[in-house]
Amino acid sequence: MIKLFLLLSTILFSKNAISDDFPAIFGCFCEGGLLTGKIKNNQEIKINEKKLTVYENGIFVFAFGRKFDDYVTVSINGKTKKFKVKNKKYKIERINGLPNKKVQPSEKDLIQIRNDQKKIKLSKKIGEKKKLFGSKFILPVKGRLSGFFGSQRILNSKPRSPHNGIDIAQKEGAEILAPASGRVKLVENNMFFTGNTLIMDHGLGLISIFAHMKKINVKNGQYVDLGKKIGEVGMTGRATGPHLHWGVYLLEKPVDPLSLVQSDF
């Protein structure tokens, strides 16, 4: 009995001691989710044993990516807490019997595709080291969600890269608003897949990519506030109807834009 009491009090005491030193962590503990928070000057933070970059004022960010384990451990100065990570079911669509011409782009197209990919990859590198995004994200366009984060198509047994973003169907010319504050990092017209493409840097390695736009109303390097018009919905590039594709990345890791809209930071 005494032993049990001692054991219980140790557990309770250590739990309290840990939470006292633990900062508030904002965001979604889920696949596709993003976390942020603040630690003190002299502290360091590790997620699953990996040290995170800590920015000005002790701010850290972390993205789970499309797939993650059921649990994650967060350690701050050696004190560790384990959190449950919500797993997601992604839609997998298998389409077979397509003519190979439709699945395999031509040599000429491949040159453009590689060129486009290079530019997009460059834009995913860290730019602004200040947190430009605020506590809320908004949907850039109000409309019907026609595509979700993480879904994947397998064409003639060849898996395509997963859909790293959401699609919002809306009529051509509808306003697109900045989902969070940031600086324009890339304005590029007529990309092979993404058509007229805009990339915004929200700081700390977090970027938004907007694809298939009809018009882009902002210029490279321009600072844009949350909710300001950045362009119009279109169907440029590979699109079967007018819609906005909104993708978010933390460096190379894809983030589910819906999880941002549903979280407070």
DSSP output for 159-183: EPPP--SEEEE--TT-EEE-SS-EE
Looking at beta carbons only, is 128 or 256 nearer to Zn ion?
Answer: 256
Candidates 146, 151, 160, 168; CA nearest to 245 is 168
Q: How far apart are CA 120 and CA 134, in angstroms?
A: 24
Looking at beta carbons only, is 106 or 240 nearer to Zn ion?
Answer: 240
Stretch that binds Zn ion, among 99-107, 132-140, 164-172, 173-181 (CB under 5 A): 164-172
CB of 147 to Zn ion, least distance (A): 5
CB of 220 to Zn ion, least distance (A): 23
Q: Are strands 253-255 and 229-232 parallel, antiparallel or unpaired?
A: unpaired
Q: Are strands 166-169 and 175-177 parallel, antiparallel or unpaired?
A: unpaired
Stretch that binds Zn ion, among 15-23, 172-180, 224-232, 243-251 (CB under 5 A): 243-251
Report the site for Zn ion in 128-157 (rule: CB under 5 A).
147
- What strands, in cross-sheet order, belong to the sheet with 34-38? 25-27, 34-38, 59-63
Q: Are strands 223-224 and 182-191 parallel, antiparallel or unpaired?
A: antiparallel
CB of 140 to Zn ion, least distance (A): 13
Candidates 237, 242, 259; CA nearest to 250 is 259
Looking at beta carbons only, is 23 or 147 nearer to Zn ion?
Answer: 147
Token digits of residue 112? 């453009």
CB of 33 to Zn ion, least distance (A): 19
Our finding on whether 167 is near Zn ion (CB under 5 A) is yes
CB of 156 to Zn ion, least distance (A): 21
Q: Find the binder of Zn ion among 245, 255, 256, 257 (CB under 5 A).
A: 245
Looking at beta carbons only, is 72 or 169 nearer to Zn ion?
Answer: 169
Residues that bind Zn ion (CB under 5 A): 147, 167, 245
